[in-house]
């Protein structure tokens, strides 16, 4: 009876193995046939050509977005005739940040896409500069901008595949929390272990208060528990949280980490130098710079001189650096004052998506304007980037950053 059972189980195992092999090949075929970054409609298109395309969508008199059609009438312009390049976007003036809080989400989405609301993924900001702002991405846009863009650079950089991820950061309405699962899976990993953090609550607490310290300790305790019980190979978190976590991890735990991804808060060159050399020397480190409204600029290659250079997935996102000689407040005239390469100024972002159009947004950061390197251009990235972004002096009091 025992021998018969063994033969039967062996036979069944063989059949199941054959079935698994066929299914596995099918899954692999599906994986390799999925759209990659190069399949994005905007990939390889010139910035000015893409600007014209996006303008034609959002300013279509019948199917365009309510907000921009109203703005066109208010300004007395014909956007489809007057705007044909990135520089021409200055005609629209600075983006009014408060409008993203004041008006319903549907005002910004072209009417043609509102016919299928199930095609959207929503995201809200953390409220760093005030009340949260809301935006939306078509699911295909979301996949290219937040998932494939990371995978594209991560594979180029040799980021580990198949390692289990630990995510320490916000979920809920925040786009970063919605992206982390698909991002990990795009690298051949399971859905990541996650420690939820509410950045809006953290921003209400004073950093030296008991409530703040207890909340951060609560987050770190959960992360350490996972690190003790699971085989974690990749950590994705904000630099401040990661620094606190690294200080409490054992040396053995830190040596097992093979990939670090930074998000949520801009990291400084001295910080990442310590992360790379002291805390996690066995890991590939990739930093990102961006936000919910625009998407992510990626650190395409590790700088040999310790700088942090970020490039957008152009041309659907463009970054410019403008002079601060006339102040730091949003102003139409300042939009034309783009600094020379190697010079520092205020960051201005443009989001050029079919789902959502945000031009001329003055950010709270300063950075150095940089040209795309040969390696970046070889990867199909031809837009300007920014080096070492950090909070602009004088605006720190308006930005509650903290751990996110």
pLDDT value, residue 14: 38
The string over 348-382, giving b where at least 16 C-beta atoms fall within 10 Å of a residue's C-beta and e elsewhere, is bbbbbbbbbbbbbbbbbbbbbbbebbeebeebebe
* Separation CA 208–CA 24 (nearest Å): 52
pTM of the model: 0.87
SS3 334: helix
pLDDT value, residue 232: 97
Q: For the CA atoms of the chain, what is the radius of gyration?
A: 23
pLDDT value, residue 269: 86
Angle at 242 between CA 236 and CA 243, to 5 degrees: 155
pLDDT value, residue 129: 66
Distances (CA, A) of 21 to 18, 26, 29, 162: 5, 9, 12, 19
Taking each helix axis from N to C end, the angle separating 149-157 and 175-186, rounded to the nearest 10 degrees, works out to: 50
What would the two tokens of residue 314 be? 């152009």
Angle at 269 between CA 265 and CA 275, to 5 degrees: 80
pLDDT value, residue 25: 43
pLDDT value, residue 19: 40
Homologous superfamily assigned to 139-308: ANL, N-terminal domain (3.40.50.12780)
Count of C-beta atoms within a 10 Å radius of residue 276: 16
β-sheet with 357-370: strand ranges across: 309-310, 385-391, 357-370, 344-352, 317-322
Beta bridge partners of 390: 366
What would the two tokens of residue 30 be? 């599906």
Angle at 300 between CA 297 and CA 306, to 5 degrees: 100
pLDDT value, residue 306: 84
Taking each helix axis from N to C end, the angle separating 239-248 and 210-229, rounded to the nearest 10 degrees, works out to: 60
| Structural domain boundaries in the chain | 139-308
pLDDT value, residue 177: 85
pLDDT value, residue 403: 52
Contact 401, 125 (CB under 8 A): no
* DSSP structure class, residue 338: B
Dihedral sign computed on CA atoms, order 389, 390, 395, 401: positive
pLDDT along the chain (404 residues), means of 10: 36 40 46 79 96 98 98 98 98 96 96 95 80 92 96 97 94 85 96 87 84 90 96 94 94 97 84 93 94 94 88 95 96 96 98 98 96 95 95 63 48
Cis peptide upstream of residue 310 (ω within 30 degrees of 0): no
């Amino acid at each position: 009876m025992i021998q018969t059972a063994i033969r039967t189980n062996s036979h069944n195992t063989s059949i199941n193995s054959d079935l698994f092999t066929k299914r596995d090949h099918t899954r692999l075929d599906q994986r390799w046939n999925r759209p990659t970054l190069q399949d994005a409609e905007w990939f390889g298109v010139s910035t000015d050509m893409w600007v014209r395309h996006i303008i034609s969508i959002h300013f279509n008199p019948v199917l365009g977005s309510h907000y921009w059609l109203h703005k066109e009438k208010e300004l007395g312009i014909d956007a489809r005739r007057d705007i044909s390049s990135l520089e021409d976007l200055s005609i629209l003036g600075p983006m009014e940040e408060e409008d993203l809080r004041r008006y319903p989400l549907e005002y910004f989405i072209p009417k043609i896409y509102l016919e299928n609301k199930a095609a959207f993924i929503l995201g809200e900001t953390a409220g760093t500069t005030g009340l949260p702002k809301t935006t939306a991405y078509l699911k295909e846009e979301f996949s290219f901008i937040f998932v494939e863009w990371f995978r594209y650079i991560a594979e180029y950089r040799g980021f580990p595949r198949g390692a289990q991820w630990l995510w320490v950061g916000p979920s809920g309405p925040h786009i970063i929390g919605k992206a982390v699962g698909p991002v990990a899976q795009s690298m051949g990993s399971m859905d990541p272990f996650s420690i939820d953090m509410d950045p809006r609550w953290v921003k209400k607490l004073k950093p030296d208060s008991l409530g703040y310290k207890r909340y951060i300790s609560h987050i770190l305790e959960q992360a350490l528990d996972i690190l003790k019980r699971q085989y974690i190979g990749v950590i994705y978190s904000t630099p401040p949280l990661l620094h606190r976590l690294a200080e409490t991890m054992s040396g053995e735990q830190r040596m097992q980490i093979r990939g670090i991804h930074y998000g949520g808060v801009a990291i400084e060159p001295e910080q990442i130098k310590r992360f790379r050399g002291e805390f996690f020397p066995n890991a590939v480190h990739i930093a990102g710079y961006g936000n919910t409204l625009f998407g992510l600029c990626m650190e395409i290659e590790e700088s040999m001189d310790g700088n942090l250079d970020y490039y957008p997935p152009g041309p659907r996102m463009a970054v410019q650096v403008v002079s601060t000689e006339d102040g730091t407040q949003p102003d139409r005239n300042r939009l034309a004052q783009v600094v020379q390469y190697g010079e520092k100024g205020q960051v201005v972002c443009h989001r050029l998506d079919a789902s959502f159009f945000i031009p001329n947004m003055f950010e709270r950061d300063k950075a150095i304007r940089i040209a795309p390197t040969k390696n970046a251009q070889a990867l199909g990235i031809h837009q300007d980037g920014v080096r070492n972004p950090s909070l602009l002096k004088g605006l720190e009091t308006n930005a509650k950053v903290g751990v996110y």
